[in-house]
Structure 1
Amino acid sequence: MKPGFPGTGEGERKTPSGKEPPVNHHQPPIADHGLIGDLQTAALVSTGGAIDWFCCPRFDSPSVFGALLDPRGGHCRIRPVREPYTSRQFYFPGTAVLITRFMTRLGTGEVIDFMRPVTGGRTDGGHRLIRLVRCVRGTVEFAMEVVPRFDYARSPHTTAVTEDGVLFHSEDSALTLHAVREPGDPPPVHAHVIEGGVYGSVILKTGQARGFALESDGGEPRAIRVAEIERTFDDTVRFWRDWLNQSTYRGRWREMVDRSAITLKLLTYAPTGAMVAAPTTSLPEQIGGERNWDYRYAWVRDASLSVSSLLALGFTDEAVAFARWLRERHLSGDGRLKIMYRVDGASDLLEESLAHWSGYRGSVPVRIGNSAADQLQLDVYGELLDTVYQADRRGAEIGHDGWKALTDLLDWLAANWDQPDDGIWETREGKADFTYGRLMSWVAFDRGVRLATAHGLPCALDSWRDERDRVYDQIWEHGWSSLKQAFVQRYGSVSLDASLLRMADVGFITPHDPSWLATLAGIENELVTDSLVYRYDPDASPDGLRGDEGTFSLCTFGYVTALARAGYPEKARLVFEKMLTYANHVGLYAEEIGPNGEQLGNFPQAFTHLGLIDAALTLDRAIG
């Protein structure tokens, strides 16, 4: 079509849910994506110019574009009409603005994707995803496809086309496409509607820019001038650079650390301060396997560790907001914390499968919700208290209500820590006496004692000290295996677990203690392969699931930290540098890495990026 996508004039079409015109849309590698977001939701953009994962209006809302998990799941794609072409993708420096460049025989064009940050307590409409298309050399004809499929392709919608855009409307939600055009553009042509999706093309010459904005408010389409989009671009760039300028990190790996920090910020739900573990669901830990989970929720553990990593870089606002969110969870709970919540604090995470979706490259089931929400995982109290302790050391003071909530949690833990739990890895094999859960219970009591002592705060201090010492003695008695000469995954076993790489990091044991060095050597011998680290050996430690998984990237970065603390900085640096080679083209990581180097699991993963930050900080100190 001529400039002014989309439309063929006014009209309306209705599509049955899940039906799709014939298109050639394959599922690209997980790592072939960049991430954009507005601090309430996020979208994945492939190197081929396709948005094939987008949930709206929140991270944990149903998908609008879900082709990453099923070709019928909906997509929004912009690419050159004529092949062959090559594409390259990068972030505008210091921001979350993603640029995909296309090189063709006749010219070079680019698609600039970003979302306007929605900060503060706003949860109303106005979630705007902008796709600005430019020709920077020669002439490029772009094909544009906007094919929404609401509610995981379960809800039919109508498509109303006007001269200024399109309104896609389903029973419970809507999406408005506003055309980006200039005065004097002729009426749009060569656009057509097929099964509720809009397809068209635009020819651009050097210096021309067009495109569209997708908005979740369901308002009437309107024409948007390029100048307005450019102002929004400038505002978005300014937001990200102002935020990133708060970082105090000046070490050797600043580019990767900055990118990881921005990624953690992108996983933050600004209205409440919650942080999701990943913006996706059901990306597999093994291609074709069943280890496919929904990570679009706020784990107390993952969020606490993410906030702690941001604190170490000098960011404090996230810690304050997260603490407020947790205090509200405590007030609305039964005295203990659940391990995860929705971003608004709700705990209804009923797990179900989308039987009508084929999954990423045939990996089923596709799950929404997460039944692990009802598990008992004792370690979350340690991660939380350690983060509060780190925040306190950096000047984020604890108010009366916050301290009351913490004392209630620690009093609950004092009465409940000595029991089997489900463990950090959320296995489906049943409860056990996991050493890591006991380790982090020790951390919780230790940090509580330190905070109370430093500030003279009221609490059951003698009880906390007694429980701390009981946990310590129990770990040495039952968590240490004289046969294995190492700390083991669970009491009475001889299985190793990479979660225990944190033992010296949290101060339970000195990093040069012979027992710790022996444990580190054991983990290296049994769980490390070419510097990459498995969480545990599922053959030695059954987890109730079929199939295998890749190496766990958080554990690899944890291995770097442990080596650096133990006095092996050069070895740690080599492992770290090798791990950096597994990042994708824009510095993002999924949860795991497969045998062929392919990224596996939900993407991008907060665990991995916080691990990178912690490893870089520790390694800088060890080397410098």
Structure 2
Amino acid sequence: MPNAEQHDYPPIAAHGLIGDLQTAALVAADGTVDWWCVPRFDSPSVFASLLDRERGGHCRIGPAGDRRLGRQLYFPDTAVLITRFTTDGGVGEVVDFMPPAGTMATTRRRLVRMVRCVRGQVDFALEVAPRFEYGTGPHRTIVTGDGAVFENRDTSLVMHVVREPGEPRADVRLVEQDLHGVIRLSEGQVRGIVLETNLGGPPRAVRVAEVEQAFADTVRFWQTWLSHSTYRGRWREAVDRSAITLKLLTYAPTGAIVAAPTAALPERIGGERNWDYRYTWVRDASFAVSALLDLGFTEEAGAFARWLADRYEQGDGPLKVLYRVDGSPDVPEQVLDHWEGYRGSGPVRIGNAAGDQLQLDIYGELFDALYRAHGHGLRVSRRGWRALSGVLDWLEGNWDQPDEGIWETRGGRHDSTYGRVMSWAAFDRGLRIAHEQGLPAPVDRWRAARDAIHDQVWSEGWHPGRRAFVQRYDSDVLDASVLRLGRVGFVAPHDPAWLDTLAAVERDLVVDDQVLRYDPAASPDGLAGVEGTFSLCTFDHVAELARAGQSGKARLVFEKALTHANEVGLYAEELGPDGAQLGNFPQAFTHLALVEAAVALDRALIAGGGPTWPW
């Protein structure tokens, strides 16, 4: 593995996220946009220096002659990111945002980088170095006095310069098809650039007033959306940021929610667990919808339900594990050999072979989310119910078989306890929806399947020696996925068997109150190396402790977990032994689990009359 110090990669956590509800970009604390795929989340990259500093492409605006990290914050209650720099000459800010793109799929994206000097004088260095088609597509650059055009075979990127009429033209130069320049500002001045894809025209001078209006409109959009949240609990700032993050991961034209906006960020530096998460997993999106429903957001649930109905009607069998944001199931996995990977962590994978796995738990997560939507007044249409009935009819004949499981391991199929429980949940929620909405259903057959699964899990998934529900039927290994058994109501929160399971998880999987998914040494998963604690599981642990009446302990674990967010409240997938964030970033799994944990803990503290000391 190359020496990490030689490559000058920022920490994964040293980023903020911006987006327009069709794609998203990461902005590092040094002012570099080092990840941006256009026109969609799952499209090829234009900027990807996060995965290869030399060949990935980037756009940087930061203090000239100084690569120091700035301090980042979001404009309150929005997805507008501010990076502040303090220099010897003054204080400056880069304000990054993407105006919401609407619900019509388009190829035109806008990324606004508004630059201002708030004290003294600051010279900002400007670098625009796109690399199209994951760094394999050559381009030519045409520079004008109002900006530049970067032309690739399939995509064009136009850079407009923000300036007032009559001002001197941009101070830029071309170096091997990349643009370099300086933005010199005095106190109170606002300038910057606007990056626009597939414009089909030349760059133009953008007036400051136009950029400021776009800023105001974007702020208004996000603050209006967030104002519909019903959450009024103790952890409103963290919950609101998680809600905005989940919304940012939504592809508005279809309602699909991606697992993360990035690909191939490693779960261990130098390791091979580097996956592409820019797709819509039925599981992850169902979880995200449930979390948003907990906060009162119902529009997203309706859109996702329609997207799911389309997926089933267009298929000829079971649901796929994951899809592209437009609903296509074609996500072949390949390796980008020309990229070194984040801090030398190869291989760099795009696409995801997990799409061809059998993961039976996705049906339970789907039906649980739809039942929660039903509880919020969102009724299933006749068309939707026909599709859902077909899903349960298929599951009736297929639930009792091995699968790859929730963690998508590549060590073969097993009879997973979690997969069986979520199959139980699918039938249980389907029966409830049919009864409460008066819908036609083969009730006797579905009830028989639900009850058979319930008996089987208690017989095979409960391990008397371990006094716990275990990962799979033929093993005594623990797995944090069983923490969700309580959430779906498979076992009562105060059942002795459940309390014993929580205690066993704490003994085997908890490290400084952070939770491992499982132990690869005890349960080989077909991949080399180890991994860090999994933040989804940590927040799941909080929720189940709260439901089990251990609110004092739950609150301490939750408060500790909150300290691992980055400075703008974002989380990756995992935490390394040193506490560094690892894996794709930001991760929908983590943010939705944070919301669920906060809601469960608030309810427990209210019901219990206050916290109790955890030891």
- Determine the structure 2 residue equivalent to 1:117: 100
- Could you list the per-position Cα deviations for residues 311-365 of structure 1 after superposition, in whole angstroms to 9, with x for gaps in the alignment? 0100001001001111110111013100100000011111000000000001000
Counterpart contact for 2:263–2:278, Cα < 8 Å = yes
Q: Give 1:86 shift.
A: 5.9
Higher mean displacement: 180-189 or 536-545? 180-189
Alignment check: 8 A CA contact 1:92 1:98 kept:
yes
Q: Counterpart in 2 of 1:434?
A: 416
What is aligned with 1:7?
A: none
Q: Which residue of 2 aligns with 1:328?
A: 310
Counterpart of 2:609 in structure 1 is none
Partner secondary structure for residue 70 of structure 2: strand
Q: Contact conserved, 2:83 with 2:95, CA < 8 A, in 1?
A: yes
Shift of 1:218: 3.4
1:208 corresponds to 2:211? no
Residue 481 of structure 1 corresponds to which residue in structure 2? 463
Q: Is the 8 A contact 1:533 1:553 kept in 2?
A: yes
What are the Cα deviations for residues 192-218 of structure 1, in whole angstroms up to 9, with x where unaligned? Answer: 111211000021001111111001123
Residue matched to 2:612: none
Matches within 5 A, 1:276-315: 276-315=258-297
Amino acid at match of 1:580: L
Shift of 1:126: 3.1
Match of 2:3 in 1: none
The match for 1:218 is: 199
Q: Note if 1:422 corresponds to 2:398.
A: no
Q: Are 2:12 and 1:30 aligned?
A: yes
Residue 564 (structure 1) shift: 0.5
Normalised to the residue count of structure 2, the TM-score between the two structures is 0.96
Amino acid in structure 1 at the alignment position of 2:187: T
How far, CA to CA, are the matches of 1:25 and 1:147 in structure 2?
Answer: 17
Contact 1:85 1:103 in 2 (8 A): no
C-alpha displacement at 1:85, in angstroms?
5.8
Q: Is the 8 A contact 1:272 1:325 kept in 2?
A: yes
Render the CA deviation track for 1:495-519: whole Å, top value 9, x for unaligned: 0000000111110010111111111
Rounded Cα–Cα distance in structure 2 between residues aligned with 1:485 and 1:553: 25
Residue matched to 2:610: none
Instruction: Determine the C-alpha separation between the residues in 2 that align with 1:459 and 1:123.
Output: 36
Aligned mates of 1:455, 1:288 — CA distance in 2: 52
Confirm or deny that 1:450 pairs with 2:432: yes
- Once residues 448 and 86 of structure 1 are traced to their aligned partners in structure 2, the CA distance between those partners, rounded to angstroms, is 51
Deviation, 1:118, is 1.0
Q: For residues 603 and 338 of structure 2, what CA distance do their matches in structure 1 show?
A: 51
1:148 equivalent in structure 2: 130
Shift of 1:83: 4.1
Q: Which residue of 1 aligns with 2:209?
A: 227
Judge conservation of contact 1:85–1:105 (CA < 8 Å) in 2: no
CA contact (8 A) 2:191 2:208 kept: yes
Number of aligned positions between the proteins: 599
Cα deviation, 1:9-49, whole Å, max 9, x if unaligned, reads xxxxxxxxxxxxxxx97210000000000000000001100
**TM-aligned CA distance change 1:84 to 1:292, over 3 Å:** closer
* d(CA) in 2 for partners of 1:344, 1:538: 35
Higher mean displacement: 416-425 or 215-224 = 215-224
In structure 2, C-alpha distance between the alignment counterparts of 1:25 and 1:200, rounded to whole Å: 23
Normalising to structure 1: TM-score of the pair? 0.95
Q: Using a 3 Å threshold, how does the CA distance of structure 1 residues 84 and 502 change in structure 2: closer, same or farther?
A: closer
Q: Distance in 1 between matches of 2:67 and 2:173?
A: 24
Residue 186 of structure 1 deviates from its aligned partner by 1.3
Let me know the Cα RMSD of the aligned residues: 1.0
Give the secondary structure class of the aligned counterpart of 1:576: helix
With over 3 angstroms needed to count, the CA separation of the structure-2 counterparts of 1:461 and 1:329, relative to structure 1, is same
Corresponding residue of 1:508: 490
1:420/1:431 contact within 8 Å kept: yes
The residue aligned with 1:385 is 367
Question: 1:418-442, CA deviations, whole angstroms, 9 ceiling, x for partnerless residues?
Answer: 0001100000001110000000000
1:199 maps onto 2:180 in alignment: yes
Classify the secondary structure of the residue corresponding to 1:262. helix
In structure 2, how many angstroms separate the alpha carbons of the residues matched to 1:575 and 1:463?
42
Whole-angstrom distance in 1 between the partners of 2:324 and 2:177: 31
In the alignment, structure 1 residue 104 sits paired with structure 2 residue 78: no
Distance between the aligned counterparts of 1:183 and 1:455, measured in 2?
A: 63
Matched position secondary structure for 2:205 = coil
Report what 1:581 is aligned to: 563
Q: Which 5+ residue runs of structure 2 have no aligned equivalent?
A: 1-5, 607-615
Matched, 1:49 2:49: no
Give matches, 1:138-177, under 5 Å: 138-177=120-159
Deviation string, structure 1 residues 110-143 (Cα, Å, up to 9, x no partner):
00000011122x1124310000000111110110
Match status 1:367 vs 2:344 = no
Residue deviations 1:435-484, cap 9 Å, x none? 00000000000001111111211011110000000000000111011121
Counterpart of 2:255 (choices 273, 280, 292) is 273
Question: Which runs of 5 or more structure 1 residues have no equivalent in the other structure?
Answer: 1-23
Correspondence 1:572-611 to 2 at 5 A: 572-611=554-593
CA distance in 1 between partners of 2:107 and 2:153 (Å): 17
2: CA distance, partners of 1:525 / 1:124: 51
Whole-Å separation in 2 of the counterparts to 1:529 and 1:130: 42
* Identity score, percent: 64
Supply the distance in 2 between the matched residues of 1:25 and 1:206 (Cα, whole angstroms): 34
Contact 2:161-2:170 at 8 Å conserved across structures:
no
Rounded Cα–Cα distance in structure 1 between residues aligned with 2:47 and 2:586? 17
In the alignment, the residues of structure 2 paired with residue 545 and residue 335 of structure 1 have an alpha-carbon distance, to the nearest angstrom, of 29
